[in-house]
């Protein structure tokens, strides 16, 4: 019943968004938009593609930091799974690529999916942390539109809450592993899965890993600012840096929920409305938004689709990490080991 209600709400939201986008599209001069797209400087656009791919590589490195202590030590595996998941996210309405990432790594590294899910939960959390840091800093030191600037208190409160959460995760004691007989029934299996998840979360939460993840998160969002700025430059669209930051913050407010595949349409509308607030032409802004999404979606999706079959069609038998006696390093061992 709950699943049906959730599915109905998602369909309803998508329908509302699509209707709003159709109404918005009727106000666009598509001829001027297409002219702006065709006149873009290909060399600068290619550089924007490289910068965007670099940000995705750093996301893979950030995930790898949390994957290492659970036994998935291959950086290449983390990078491939990150590209494959991002590619799937671009063609699915929901963030289905995230679930695929868990399956990919669990199969390839022969690790319990609960442990991989715990690492992904932390990696996704630091994506949000990077966004909140950018929002708090920008709202405090840049002249952003009022709609974004008024989020300053919320951003700082969120940062304080995040700091408390990170301290709690680092100081939370490791739970001893409880050996139980094979779980029977969905409730018992769910409880066992959650125990593995929480124990892994506690085991991989350390200060050095969190510090490295924060640095990478800030760098990732900085590269995204660079991607947006370079794309605007390629289209001869003189949006100031503060406008680029405002557009990036605005279009990513809804990155948790995707109303359309890759948020196509919604992305263009939000970017254009933000740029108009800085005195820019709406039709040109939509052209830039299309270029941003084209260079973010097409190369990543092609790479993701090329890499995904390696995981999806893997037929080798899976040996769980717990069956091999693999365990998480203790925090004391982690503190003596070299930082990733």
pLDDT the model gives residue 317: 39
Query: What do you get for the CA distance between the two ends of the chain, in Å?
Result: 45
Contact 274, 149 (CB under 8 A): no
pLDDT the model gives residue 261: 60
Rounded to 10°, the helix 207-234/152-171 angle is 150
pLDDT the model gives residue 338: 41
- HEC assignment per residue over the chain: CHHHHHHHHHHHHHHHHHHHHHHHHCCCCHHHHHHHHHCCCHHHHHHHHHHHHHHHHHHHHHHHHHHHHHCCCCHHHHHHHHHHHHHHHHHCCCCHHHHHHHHHHHHHHCCCHHHHHHHHHHHHHHHHHHHHHHHHHHHHHCCCCHHHHCCHHHHHHHHHHHHHHHHHHHHCCCCCCCCCCCCCCHHHHHHHHHHHHHHHHHHHCCHHHHHHHHHHHHHHHHHHHHHHHHHHHHCCCCCCHHHHHHHHHHHCCCCCCCCCHHHCCHHHHHHHHHHHCCCCCHHHHHHHHHHHHHHHHHHHHHHHHHHHHHHHCCCCCCCCCCCCCCCCCCHHHHHHCCCC
pLDDT the model gives residue 278: 92
pLDDT the model gives residue 184: 60
Mean pLDDT split into 10-residue runs, the chain, 340 residues: 58 58 57 78 94 96 95 92 85 70 88 90 93 91 82 90 91 61 66 81 90 96 96 94 93 65 76 91 91 88 74 44 40 42
What is the number of other CB atoms lying within 10 angstroms of the CB of residue 167?
13
Q: How many residues does the structure list for the chain?
A: 340
CA distance 156 to 223: 23
pTM of the predicted model, to two decimals?
0.79
Contact 149, 139 (CB under 8 A): yes
Contact 227, 58 (CB under 8 A): no
Q: Is 87 exposed, middle or buried (0-12, 13-18, 19+ CB in 10 A)?
A: buried
What is the number of other CB atoms lying within 10 angstroms of the CB of residue 125?
17
Contact 268, 291 (CB under 8 A): no
pLDDT the model gives residue 65: 96
Q: pLDDT tens, 210-250? A: 999 999 999 999 999 999 999 999 999 999 999 999 999 98
């Amino acid at each position: 019943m709950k699943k049906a209600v959730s599915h109905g709400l998602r369909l309803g939201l998508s329908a509302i968004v699509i209707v709003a986008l159709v109404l918005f599209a009727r106000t666009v001069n598509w001829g001027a938009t297409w002219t702006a797209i065709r006149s873009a400087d290909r060399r600068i656009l290619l550089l924007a593609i490289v910068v965007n791919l670099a940000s995705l590589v750093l996301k893979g490195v950030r995930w790898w930091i949390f994957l290492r202590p659970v036994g998935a030590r291959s950086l290449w595996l983390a990078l491939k799974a990150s590209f494959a998941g991002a590619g799937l996210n671009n063609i699915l309405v929901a963030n289905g690529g995230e679930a695929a990432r868990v399956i990919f790594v669990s199969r390839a590294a022969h690790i319990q999916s609960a442990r991989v899910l715990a690492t992904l939960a932390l990696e996704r959390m630091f994506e949000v942390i990077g966004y909140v840091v950018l929002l708090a800093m920008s709202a405090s030191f840049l002249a952003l539109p009022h709609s974004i600037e008024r989020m300053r208190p919320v951003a700082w409160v969120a940062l304080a809450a995040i700091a408390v959460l990170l301290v709690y995760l680092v100081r939370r004691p490791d739970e001893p592993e409880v050996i139980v007989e094979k779980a029977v029934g969905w409730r018992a299996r769910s409880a066992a899965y959650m125990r593995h998840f929480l124990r892994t979360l506690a085991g991989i939460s350390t200060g050095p890993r969190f510090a490295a993840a924060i640095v990478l998160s800030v760098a990732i969002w900085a590269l995204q600012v660079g991607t947006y700025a370079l794309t605007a430059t390629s289209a001869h669209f003189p949006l100031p840096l503060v406008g680029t930051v405002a557009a990036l913050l605005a279009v990513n407010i809804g990155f948790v929920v995707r109303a359309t595949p890759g948020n196509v349409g919604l992305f263009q509308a939000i970017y254009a409305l933000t740029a108009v607030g800085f005195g820019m032409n709406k039709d040109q802004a939509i052209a830039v938004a299309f270029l941003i999404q084209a260079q973010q979606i097409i190369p990543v999706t092609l790479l993701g689709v090329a890499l995904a079959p390696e995981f999806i069609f893997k037929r080798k038998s899976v040996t769980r990490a717990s069956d091999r006696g693999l365990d998480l390093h203790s925090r004391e061992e982690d503190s003596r080991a070299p930082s990733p």
